[in-house]
Amino acid sequence: MSRPAVVLDTVLDAVGNTPLIRLDRLAAKHGLKCNLLGKLEYMSAGGSVKDRIAKRMVEVAEKEGKLIPGHSVVIEPTSGNTGIGLAMACAIKGYTVIITLPQKMSLEKEAALRALGAEVVRTPTEAAWDSPESNIGVAARLQREIPGGIILDQYRNINNPLAHELTTGPEIIEAVKNTPSTAQHPSSGKVDVFVAGAGTGGTISGVAKAIKKTHNPDCVVVGTDPVGSVLALPETLNAATGSYIIEGIGYDFVPDVLSREEGLIDSWVKTSDAEAFAAIKELIRSEGMLVGGSCGSALAGAFAWLRTGEGKKIAETEGKNVVVLLPDGIRNYIGKDWFLKMALEAEPSPLAQTIAGIMNRSDSLDVQTMSDGDVTLNSRV
């Protein structure tokens, strides 16, 4: 579903319609014969998959009369990306926005929110979801005390999964169906496996419904959940506790919009920060995609599932299509320690060592000053 080549009325018309891209180099590196495809959501106007739900929640609330121009104040507890999507939509529509954001979330997210005109209130990362000090608790307090305050509530709002059932899922289906099978790239013509991380759970629930109910009921849907979160099933998978660095996925409670409908999400994989960061580095270096942290979790989960008994059958079958949802880009994490360490503190490559050797030779360059004052560098190699 490509974006029409016309002049758009607002940036909200540039939400979604993101590309589905082959990850052939990465697949070959991991010995996969199946097609590995990435749904690249940082190409959406606000930079993440959450643009979709923000747009829908605001537009539906307007239609239902819940948002009143000149009066309503949109308040939302978020990990950041939903907040950015809401702030973008509300900047266009003229609503005031307050975002409550745990301290763990990046400074880049706060900067983007403030640039869009939102007020940002930081809350303790360690606060339990039902604590008055959590971002959810603080949002509820602000909603009670600020005239016109309204929480659209991505954790319970049916328009969260609906946005993905009506847009993200159909886009994936259409892209796969419209891409012909060739000798170079054989295809089943179906989405055979869909892999996504779970935060609120709206993305994986909505896309799973679109695929299974309108396209391929036999599609295997795999959810990834960070170690320390409690979203995976069976619950025994959640035995390991602790904190995790990855942002935007995992919770200490199960949001209402994460479907527990039997047969919808078929399998869960737990992922660690280390696995996620390794996958991010691979994806950036192999495919040139400047993706964010939770993309690494989804990709690491996909690789882990493809090593299981059921997954191996898919991995070893040419033409099977495995789609991984890549939620956002690196923009929001440029200043995070994990990214700076990966980008700036990596072991020097052989080429870097060669360059350093050239630059460290004190007699390698001869500086000549021309009569007009220009400077030229002549090699004396």
Instruction: Report how far residue 106's alpha carbon sits from residue 79's, in angstroms, rounded to the nearest whole number.
Output: 9
Strand-pairing partners, residue 378, are 366
Instruction: Report how far residue 243's alpha carbon sits from residue 259's, in angstroms, rounded to the nearest whole number.
Output: 24
- For residue 211, give every residue at least 6 positions away whose Cβ sits within 8 Å of its Cβ, in sequence order, or none: 169, 172, 173, 191, 194, 219, 221
Task: Report strand pairing: 149-151 vs 96-102.
Answer: unpaired
Q: Hey, what are 179's tokens?
A: 């891409």
Residue 186's closest CA among 313, 319, 33? 319
Q: Tokens 């690249």 identify what position?
A: 40
Helix, strand, or coil here: 76?
A: strand
Phi and psi based region of residue 182 (left: phi greater than 0; alpha: psi -120 to 50; beta: remaining): beta
**Is residue 63 among the annotated active site residues?**
no
Residues 313 and 25 sit within 8 Å (Cβ to Cβ): no
- For residue 264, give every residue at least 6 positions away whose Cβ sits within 8 Å of its Cβ, in sequence order, or none: 205, 208, 209, 212, 221
Cα 245 to Cα 80, 101, 226, 276, 316, distances in angstroms: 14, 15, 9, 10, 33
Helix, strand, or coil here: 86?
A: helix
Provide φ and ψ at 242, rounded to 5°: 130, 175
Neighbour order of strands in the sheet with 73-77: 119-123, 96-102, 73-77, 149-151
Residues 38 and 23 sit within 8 Å (Cβ to Cβ): yes
DSSP per-residue codes, 1-45 = -PPPSS--SSGGGGSS---EEE-HHHHHHTT--SEEEEEEGGGST
Choose the catalytic residue: 29, 39, 50, 63. Answer: 50
By annotation, the residues acting in catalysis are 50
